[in-house]
């Protein structure tokens, strides 16, 4: 590089940054549409070299419960953003149809289903934590949860693990 007249233009990948950025995402929803924001942001953060922790709590527990994680649903009920009359959403079969449609749209843009997405997040170095209170309420143990979940921890543990992190509640 010393032979060059002008210095080469090299992208800054932030490798020299001394302070590690950290992101904590609390996933509290169990619907298909609300599962994705946390997963997408976690995946993006990991791809940028950010240490990322996800905490699954209350309805968000469905995202990591083996028997349910592949079967999250989307309903039109209570969601005015579908711009359909609310009564239609309550008809039999509508939730299944809306779920099917949304899954199709997600697959079309090359985004994986929830279990595979979690697998990718873990492979990228992401940390998954389950909420102790939710596990106790639902009588679930670690065996019921996705194997990528590192542990069932309480809220204080999570706060401690994510010291200095930016935090998102979804």
Partner 1 sequence: MPVTTIAGRDVHVDDEGFLTVYDEWDPDLARQLAAQIGLDLTDEHFKALTFLRADYVTQGETATLRRVSALGGIPTKELFSLFPKKPAKKMAYIAGLPKPHGCV
Nearer to partner 1, 64 or 106 (CB): 106
- Structure tokens that stand for 67 in this block: 């028997």
Count other C-beta atoms under 10 Å from residue 131's C-beta.
25
Q: Hey, which residues does 92 pair with through a beta bridge? A: none
Cβ–Cβ under 8 Å, residues 94 and 88: yes
% helix, strand, coil for the chain, step of 5: 40, 20, 40
Span near partner 1 by CB under 8 A; candidates 9-17, 60-68, 71-79, 81-89: 9-17
Q: Does 156 bind partner 1 (CB under 8 A)?
A: no
Contact window for partner 1 (CB under 8 A) among 68-76, 117-125, 142-150, 159-167:
117-125
Q: Using CB under 8 A, which of 33, 89, 112, 157 touches partner 1?
A: 112
Task: Please report whether residue 87 would count as binding partner 1 according to CB under 8 A.
Answer: no
Which of residues 2, 15, 78, 163 is near partner 1 by CB under 8 A?
15
Determine, following the binding rule CB under 8 A, whether residue 133 of this chain makes contact with partner 1: no
Nearest to 76 by CA among 66, 67, 85, 63: 85
What's the closest the beta carbon of residue 157 comes to partner 1, in angstroms? 26
| Site membership for partner 1, residue 105 (CB under 8 A) | no
Using rule CB under 8 A, residue 11 touches partner 1: yes
**Site for partner 1, residues 36 to 75, rule: CB under 8 A:** 40, 43-44, 47-49
Nearest alpha-carbon partner for 121 in 60, 42, 62, 61: 42
Radius of gyration for the chain, computed over Cα atoms and rounded to the nearest angstrom: 20
């Amino acid at each position: 590089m010393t032979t060059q007249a002008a210095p080469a233009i090299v992208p800054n990948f932030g490798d020299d940054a001394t302070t590690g950025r950290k992101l904590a995402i609390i996933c509290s929803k169990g619907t298909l549409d609300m599962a994705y924001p946390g997963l997408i942001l976690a995946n993006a953060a990991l791809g940028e070299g950010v240490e990322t922790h996800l905490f699954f709590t209350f309805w968000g527990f469905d995202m990591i419960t083996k028997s349910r994680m592949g079967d999250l649903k989307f309903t039109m009920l209570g969601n005015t953003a579908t711009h359909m009359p609310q009564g239609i959403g309550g008809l039999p079969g509508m939730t299944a149809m809306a779920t099917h449609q949304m899954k199709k749209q997600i697959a079309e843009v090359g985004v994986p289903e929830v279990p595979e997405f979690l697998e990718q997040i873990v492979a990228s170095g992401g940390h998954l934590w389950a909420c102790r209170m939710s596990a106790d309420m639902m009588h679930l143990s670690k065996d019921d949860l996705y194997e990528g979940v590192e542990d069932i921890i309480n809220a204080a543990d999570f706060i401690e693990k994510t010291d200095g992190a930016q935090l998102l509640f979804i």
